[in-house]
Structure 1
């Protein structure tokens, strides 16, 4: 019998950001994440990739590096989807696809602000620790995004 804790392999975090949706959306370019996400020390295009493939290397403050590939980007629906294609050190799971989506709040007390969701769908070999880590990283990143958007 396995000692693994059964867990969902997806995570969804969200926030209402006190900024206009355009201020938030313009920060969501994979190569610019280090300008607002405090966990990253650097985000840069991977050299030598084709014009058809958008791959960005994120270097975290702890020295971990991951390469993320932009899978989808919609300036009409305001979302970006990316997958992790490599990591140093290696990940403990096979894959993850994440989407950040920006929605305008059009009525109510938060009218004129922005609702943001950040999801992650992990391969079935991701354990509870991976999912919890992803949850907290997204929460911290959304708080950082809110700070950066407020400055715009």
Structure 2
């Protein structure tokens, strides 16, 4: 019987983006992720899915397709929370709930910039490889976000 490597089922990556808060927050919409995340070929709202729920289809350049559901959005506290509802190919774990939070940096050497956190909380069947992959994907996406706002 193969033994699993014990691992945390959550990941948290963060970055200081050298751009105004409003420029960064403006891009944090599920349907706009392909505007900055280089791993994505497209991100588009799924029409007719539900009048009360935003579902976005993310098509990755490697062929993976995820449908993600916006679970929570706060224009006051500046965060979005989303979950993966379908995946092709199928994920090796049952679920993941992710949150992206943006904070304006108001003092110190990074004043006028934006602090961004991207967390993921996975079901207990996610293994160490899933968590490591999520960590590196978030790091890459945050670096891509910094590049995208630097162009503006």
- TM-score norm. by structure 2 comes to 0.98
Q: Which stretches in structure 2 are left out of the alignment for 5+ residues?
A: none
SS in 1 for 2:149: helix
Distance 1:64 1:57 in 2: 10
SS in 2 for 1:140: helix
How many residue pairs were aligned?
152
The answer as to 2:115 corresponding to 1:126 is: no
The answer as to 2:148 corresponding to 1:151 is: no
SS in 1 for 2:63: coil
Q: C-alpha root-mean-square deviation of aligned residues, in Å?
A: 0.8
SS in 1 for 2:27: coil
Partner in structure 1 of residue 113 of structure 2 = 113
Alpha-carbon shift at residue 40 of structure 1 (Å):
0.2
Distance 1:95 1:37 in 2: 22
Partner in structure 2 of residue 15 of structure 1 = 15
Alpha-carbon shift at residue 47 of structure 1 (Å):
2.0
Distance 2:149 2:96 in 1: 26
SS in 2 for 1:13: strand
- TM-score norm. by structure 1 comes to 0.98
The answer as to 2:81 corresponding to 1:85 is: no
- Larger mean CA deviation between 85-94 and 1-10 belongs to 1-10
Q: Deviations over 1:83-133 (max 9, x none)?
A: 000000000000000000000111100000000000000000000000000
Q: Deviations over 1:13-58 (max 9, x none)?
A: 0000000111000001101100110000010111221220100000
SS in 2 for 1:19: coil
